[in-house]
Amino acid sequence: MGATDEAGKRFAEAVAIMARLRGPDGCPWDREQSFATIRKYTLEEVYEVFDAIEREDWDELKSELGDLLLQVLFYAQMADEPGHFSIADVLETLNRKLVRRHPHVFGDEAAAAAGNRAEGMETEGIDAGQVLRNWEEIKKFEKKQAESGGEGLLDAVPRSMPALAEAAKLGSKAAKVGFDWPEVSGLLSKVREETAEIEAELEAEPERARIAEEVGDLLFTVVNLARHLKVDPEMALRDANGKFRRRFRLMEESSAEPLERLSLENLEELWTAAKRAGEAEKVL
């Protein structure tokens, strides 16, 4: 059995396992999931793939790619149940796209049969740069074909972007037509306003959906504050995450006993000491 046949066999096995997990006699947790509940895990798996690649940990990457593939199988199985589409439809769409966007490999005729109607492209003996230009041209044509009506200003910002980057782009686009806070002070006031709205929700009978909405509004405002201050919110948060990791590690190292045994007051004292230690390192 060749490598392709073996991969096909294993893939079919994975599809069958996913269907069993979602079936009547399957896993209770898997059966309860929806597109909304699974999506956060998808993002986590993507970042875990990135991390394994950056560390060049090939065994870990193999495992993480499997976890990412699981997300695809999960979505496809959930979509298949009400009849939206199946994993076979996903694969057919992918195969057609690959052929459509690679006329220099599969030939103009095969690419056209797969839906490529873009014209005037070089496809013979081209380099990687021309391949990318062709790819973008084909994508533009596909988008134009799919559009129904005019394109709004914000439609150029992909929903597929990480949420922090998307929020910054949306704010920047809206600012081009003057829909923006003129001063940073206005954004600071907005941050306080959004925080007050969260407090108001908590004082009432809190509903998870309402709390999530208000937290989202606060995050969106903070991202726009970062944009006004010319700070990349993604990098700022990554740096903050790294700082938290370092300080928490110092807490663990300086404690004579496990942190979970300490009172909140003791934990605050360790945090303050770790913070001072970090500030002292900056001075040095």
**Quick one: pLDDT band at residue 283, thresholds 50, 70, 90?**
very low
Tell whether 12 and 64 lie within a shared domain: yes
Tell whether 145 and 210 lie within a shared domain: no
102: its two tokens: 């690679």
Q: What is the rounded distance in angstroms from the CA atom of residue 105 to the CA atom of residue 124?
A: 9
Q: Among the three residues 102, 124, 150, which one is the final residue of a domain in this structure?
A: 150
Q: Among the three residues 231, 247, 262, which one is the final residue of a domain in this structure?
A: 231
Tell whether 200 and 243 lie within a shared domain: no
* CATH number of residue 73's parent domain: 1.10.287.1080
Work out the number of other CB atoms within 10 angstroms of the CB of residue 256: 6
Higher pLDDT, 141 or 163: 163
Interval 106-145: pLDDT, tens: 877 777 787 776 666 766 777 788 777 777 777 777 666 6
Q: What is the rounded distance in angstroms from the CA atom of residue 254 to the CA atom of residue 268?
A: 13
Q: What is the rounded distance in angstroms from the CA atom of residue 69 to the CA atom of residue 74?
A: 9
Tell whether 174 and 133 lie within a shared domain: no
Tell whether 221 and 240 lie within a shared domain: no
Tell whether 206 and 138 lie within a shared domain: no
Half-sphere exposure of 118 (CA within 13 A, CB side): 21
Q: What is the rounded distance in angstroms from the CA atom of residue 190 to the CA atom of residue 225?
A: 9
Contact 42, 71 (CB under 8 A): yes
Q: Among the three residues 196, 212, 231, which one is the final residue of a domain in this structure?
A: 231
Tell whether 67 and 27 lie within a shared domain: yes
Q: What is the rounded distance in angstroms from the CA atom of residue 103 to the CA atom of residue 248?
A: 53
Q: What is the rounded distance in angstroms from the CA atom of residue 254 to the CA atom of residue 233?
A: 31
Q: Give the pLDDT confidence score for residue 238 in this predicted structure.
A: 83
What is the percent of the chain with per-residue pLDDT over 90, rounded to a whole number?
A: 52
Per-residue pLDDT, averaged over 153-175, amounts to: 85
Tell whether 9 and 79 lie within a shared domain: yes
Interval 72-116: pLDDT, tens: 999 999 999 999 999 999 999 899 888 888 888 887 777 778 777
Work out the number of other CB atoms within 10 angstroms of the CB of residue 87: 20
Q: How many domains does the chain have?
A: 4
Burial grade of 227 (CB within 10 A; 0-12, 13-18, 19 or more): buried
**What value does the mean pLDDT of the chain take?**
87
119: its two tokens: 């014209």
Q: If you count DSSP H runs as helices and E runs as strands, how many of each does the chain have, helices first?
A: 13, 0
Q: What is the rounded distance in angstroms from the CA atom of residue 214 to the CA atom of residue 205?
A: 14
pLDDT beyond 90 at 47: no
Per-residue pLDDT, averaged over 137-163, amounts to: 71
* The total number of residues written for the chain in this structure: 284
Q: What is the rounded distance in angstroms from the CA atom of residue 165 to the CA atom of residue 235?
A: 10
- The model's pTM is 0.55
Side chain identity, residue 32: E
Tell whether 188 and 247 lie within a shared domain: no
Q: Give the pLDDT confidence score for residue 208 in this predicted structure.
A: 84
Q: Give the pLDDT confidence score for residue 205 in this predicted structure.
A: 76
Q: Give the pLDDT confidence score for residue 19 in this predicted structure.
A: 96
Under DSSP, the state recorded for 25 is T
**Quick one: pLDDT band at residue 282, thresholds 50, 70, 90?**
low
Q: Domain residues for 245? A: 236-283
Higher pLDDT, 50 or 194: 194
Tell whether 140 and 176 lie within a shared domain: no
pLDDT beyond 70 at 181: yes
Q: What is the rounded distance in angstroms from the CA atom of residue 144 to the CA atom of residue 135?
A: 14
